[in-house]
Amino acid sequence: MEIERNAVLKVANINESCILFLEEAENKKEVISRLSKLLFENGYVKETYEQAVLDREAVYATGLPFEEMGVAIPHTDLEHVNKTGIAVAILDKPVPFNVMGGDNEVVDVNIVFLMAIANLENYVVFLKNLISVFQERGNLIRLKESSNAAQFLITFNQIFANV
């Protein structure tokens, strides 16, 4: 399946100030809350977003065990979002998330992509391409090894521009 990489870059709209490197986080709630605040401060989401994501995560978990590492893609309904964007947490010490579709299975997550999606068409483009890219060997490791937000963005852009 063709990966529409550039479509991701158009939609993703990552702001350097929404990329967080965490040496340690107590649990997934802390990660989601901190990332939600960044999205809120940068105007991407409404105040209701944080709780809405936490509530959804409790019912429909978003942990995905890729071969190279665990990734989580928390999100929630469009009504809590002003404009499409994502916040990213790179976790030194992985944090457990429940596995999407799993029966109380848990995956240790190293990168959290908190998605604020303002329209469903963007969402589908985004998710479909993101998971395809995460399945390609080396991409997640490259992202994880970024030493700061600027470098993460460069790597992210390189991967999705297929450089």
Partner 1 sequence: MKKILLACGTGIVTSTAVAQKLRVVLDERGYAGKYEITQCKIVEAAPISANYDFVVVTTMAPPGLKSPHVSGIPFLTGMNVEPTIERIIELMEE
Continuous segment of H or E residues that includes residue 16? none
CB of 84 to partner 1, least distance (A): 13
Q: Looking at beta carbons only, is 101 or 150 nearer to partner 1?
A: 101
In angstroms, how far is CA 53 from the centroid of its own chain? 12
26 contacts partner 1 (rule: CB under 8 A): no
- Shortest approach of partner 1 to residue 157 CB, angstroms? 22
108: closest CA among 54, 67, 56, 71? 71
Binding partner 1 (rule: CB under 8 A), the pick from 6, 17, 27, 135 is: 135
Q: State the nearest-atom distance from the C-beta of 100 to partner 1, in Å.
A: 6
What is the smallest separation between the CB atom of 134 and partner 1, expressed in angstroms? 8
Q: Report the nearest approach of partner 1 to the CB of residue 131 (Å).
A: 5
- Write out the DSSP string of 30-71: HHHHHHHHHHHHTTSB-TTHHHHHHHHHHHS--EEE-SS-EE
Q: Which of residues 48-77 bind partner 1 (CB under 8 A)?
A: 56, 59-60, 64-67, 75, 77
**Assign residue 154 a region: left if phi > 0, alpha if psi is -120 to 50, beta otherwise?**
alpha
In the list 43, 58, 93, 102, the residue contacting partner 1 (rule: CB under 8 A) is 102
Q: Which helix (H) or strand (E) holds 77?
A: none
What size, in residues, is the chain?
Answer: 163
Residue 10 lies near partner 1 (rule: CB under 8 A): no
Q: Which two tokens stand for residue 78?
A: 């469009």
Residues that bind partner 1 (CB under 8 A): 1, 56, 59-60, 64-67, 75, 77, 99-103, 120, 123-124, 127-128, 131, 134-135
